[in-house]
Structures are given as C-alpha cells and as structure tokens.
Amino acid sequence: MTDAPARTEPRPASARPTLTEVAASYPERRPPRGRAWAAVRRVLRHVALIAFGLVMLYPLLWMLASSFKPTELIFREPGLIPTEWDFGNYTDGWNALLDPFGHYLLNSAIVVLGSVLGNLISCSMAAYAFARLKFRGRNLWFAVMLMSIMLPIHVIIVPQYILFSSLSWINTFLPLIVPKLLATDAFFVFLMVQFFRGIPKDLDEAARLDGCGHVRIFLRIMLPLSLPALATTAIFTFIWTWNDFFSQLIFLTKPDMYTVPIALRTFVDATSNSSWGPLFAMSIVSLIPVFLVFLFGQKYLVKGIATTGIK
C-alpha cells in the first residue's frame, strides 16, 4: 500500500493533531491480567461458540443426512443418522434431468460470474460518484436509486419481460447479467457509498494535492482501501444470484439454459411423483461452490484498513 499517502503527512487544511499522532505519542503498554482467568474465559467462549455453531449447522447436517437416504425414508425417518445408506441419490440426481447436472452448474456459473463482475465494476463506480463527487441533483438521484429497490419483483418482472422480449433477450443470459453491468443493484451501490464515506477524506485530499484525478483516486485509493466492501459485494452477489429463482425461471425458457435453482425445482412437483433423495443430493452439490466461495472469499473481508498498512 505504498500508493496511499500515510496519515501522518501534514494536513494543509487544519492544524489539529491527527489521531495517529495522538496515538503515536503514547508508549506501548498493556495492563496486566490474571492468566488463568483469561484461559478459562477463552475456553468458555469457544464452548459457547461451538454450541451455537451446532445449532447453525443443523440444517446443513440434516440435508446432508437426507441426501444419503432413500427417498421413501426421508419422511418416515427424519433423524440425523440414516438407517439405510443410499449413495445412489448422487448419481441418480446428477443424471435425472435432460442434461447432466454439471450443465446447470455451468450455466449458473456463467450468470454468477457475469453478475459479480458487473456489480463490482458498475456499483463501485456509481458509489464513488455518490460518495465523493458533488454534482447537481445528487440527493435526488440517490433517492431515485433507492426507490428502485422498494418495488417488489413481482410487479416489476412483467414489464421487464416485455422489455427484454422486445430486445429478443428472452432465453439468453443477458437479462440476468446486463442489468448488473449497469449498476441496477442499488443495494451494492448504497453499500459501497457507505464504505467509501468511511474512508478518511484526507487521503484523497492529499492525493488531489499530488495531482491525482478522480480516476486515479478511485483506482489507487478507494478501491484498495475498500477491499472488505468489494469482497462483500462479490460474495453476496455470488450467493444471491446463485440462489435467485424467480427471474431465472421467467427469463430462461429452454431447458438447455436452465440454471441450478430451476433445475432443482424440477425434481419436485406438487402434482406428481417427487424425487426427494436426488433433490437433497443435488442441493448439497449446488451448495459446494457457494460455500467454497464464502470460505475463501471471507479472508478478504477481514483485510480492512486495519491490515492494509495505514498506521
């Protein structure tokens, strides 16, 4: 993070001592504590966290257990340990639909990656404008943006369908990806606005004095410093798009184009036989990518200012 000017640089606008200076003027010192007590507390904390974790894990464990039960036993024996193991659910589920399940995973991956990329670029750009630039009607535009997420999808989707249909976009991934490239996900714009506004303004003031334009400030200061926000955006976009059902159902009509949530729904039908075992198995399979993304993505969540070296 050598690009970011250090906070200790003298500020031209004010003569107040910065927080860093205040902090730096104190010697390093820690109050002594009872070691044994600290150890006990630590153990207790872990016990509590693990107990709580088990409650949180239960649904997943139950789904996992169910995915190994024959369909007819899932309802008759709802316990966690299957009395009869059926690994066939995975092979059956993988091959149950017209294409192997991997096909739907791939379709979902395309939609999700497009959406993540789109949201990262477009939302951060819009957020920079709303957070740092002064322009006419800023508050009004911001309000308009927020309004767009206050209408339920169910009344929006029909006009959207008509719009995309007139563009011949139905049954392509475009209606799912292009809106993200155009920053229509107000949630993330707002999220990044809040994070950008949390970044000390002296940083870009200093950069401006060094002759940086907005593009450079955006690329070299704001983006690197808001890694947690970008990671949050990426992870949430991934998870939410991966799980989103309604718009994918409406905009994708050919089975070749179906994504994971639609494929999962075709295992179960209220009016005919349902394949619950394969459904659970494929639900587990479709959770793996999201879980992995979360597991590996979350380390970027914790790389905030605290760790990027503005000390």
Partner 1 sequence: MRVTATRATRRRGAALVALTAAGALALTACSGGDSGIVPSDEGGDDGGNVEIRFAWWGSDDRHKTTQQIIDLFEEKNPGITVVPDYTDWDGYWDKLATATAGGDTPDVITQEERYLSDYASRGVIGEMTGVDTSKIADDILSTGEVDGKLVGIPTGVNAYAMVADPQIFADAGVDMPDDKTWTWDDYVDIAGKISKGAGDGVWGAQDYGFNEAGLNVLARQKGETLYNEDGTLGVSKETVAEFFQTSLDLMANGGQPDASRSVEYQNAGPEGSLLGTNAGAMGVWWSNQLGALSDASGHELELLRLPGESQFDRTGMYFKPAMYYSISAKTKHPEESAKLVDFLLNDPEVAKLQLTDRGLPANESVREAILPDLTAADQKVADFMADLEPDIVDNPAVPPSGANEIQDIMIRINTEVLFERMTPDEAADAFLKDVGAAIGG
Partner 2 sequence: MAVIQEVARTRGAAPERRKGDGKAAALFLAPWFVGLILITAFPLVASLYLSFTDYSLLEAPGWIGLENYTRMFSDPRFFQALKVTFTYVLVSVPLQLAAALALAMVLDKGLRGLAFYRSVYYLPSLLGGSVAIAILWRQVFGADGLVNQVLGFFGIEGVGWVSHPDYALGTLMVLNVWTFGAPMIIFLAGLRQIPAMYYEAASIDGAGPWRRFRSITVPLLTPIIFFNLVLQLIGAFQSFTQAFIVSGGTGGPVDSTLFYTLYLYEKGFGSYQMGYASAMAWFLLLVVAGMTAVNFLASKFWVFYDD
- Interacting residues with partner 1 (CB under 8 A): 71-72, 74-76, 96-98, 157-159, 161-163, 165-166, 168, 170-171, 245-246, 249-250, 253-255, 262, 265-276, 278
Residue 41 interacts with which of partner 1, partner 2, none, CB < 5 to 8 Å by class: none
Contact 124, 132 (CB under 8 A): no
Structure tokens at 74: 């899932």
Residue 65 interacts with which of partner 2, partner 1, none, CB < 5 to 8 Å by class: none
Q: Report in angstroms how near the CB of residue 272 gets to partner 2 at its nearest.
A: 14
Number of H helices, E strands in the chain: 18, 0
Task: Return the amino acid letter for 291.
Answer: F
Contact 61, 80 (CB under 8 A): yes
Task: Reduce the DSSP state of residue 85 to 3 states and report it.
Answer: coil
Q: What is the largest CA-CA distance in the chain?
A: 76
Taking the C-alpha atoms of residue 73 and residue 78, their distance in angstroms, rounded to an integer, is 8
Residue 170 interacts with which of partner 1, partner 2, none, CB < 5 to 8 Å by class: partner 1
Residue 275 interacts with which of partner 1, partner 2, none, CB < 5 to 8 Å by class: partner 1
Taking the C-alpha atoms of residue 301 and residue 195, their distance in angstroms, rounded to an integer, is 13
* Subset of residues 252 to 291 that bind partner 2, contact rule: CB under 8 A: 261, 264-265, 267-268, 276, 279-280, 283, 287, 290-291
Contact 264, 243 (CB under 8 A): no
Please, what's the b/e burial string for 98-136 (b: 16 or more CB within 10 A of its CB; e: otherwise)? eeebebbbebbbebbebbbebbbebbbebbbbbbbeeee
Q: Counting contacts by CB under 8 A, is residue 239 touching partner 2?
A: yes
Kindly tell me which residue out of 90, 128, 251, 258 binds partner 2, with binding defined by CB under 8 A. Answer: 128
For residue 199, give the DSSP letter: S
* Subset of residues 74 to 103 that bind partner 2, contact rule: CB under 8 A: 74-75, 78
* Subset of residues 288 to 307 that bind partner 2, contact rule: CB under 8 A: 290-291, 294-295, 298-299, 301-307
Residue 151 interacts with which of partner 2, partner 1, none, CB < 5 to 8 Å by class: partner 2
Nearer to partner 1, 188 or 276 (CB): 276
Taking the C-alpha atoms of residue 187 and residue 47, their distance in angstroms, rounded to an integer, is 36
Q: Report in angstroms how near the CB of residue 93 gets to partner 1 at its nearest.
A: 9
Stretch in the footprint of partner 2 (CB under 8 A) among 83-91, 96-104, 106-114, 199-207: 199-207
Nearer to partner 1, 58 or 245 (CB): 245
Q: Report in angstroms how near the CB of residue 248 gets to partner 1 at its nearest.
A: 10
Taking the C-alpha atoms of residue 216 and residue 4, their distance in angstroms, rounded to an integer, is 11
Kindly tell me which residue out of 9, 144, 209, 256 binds partner 2, with binding defined by CB under 8 A. Answer: 144
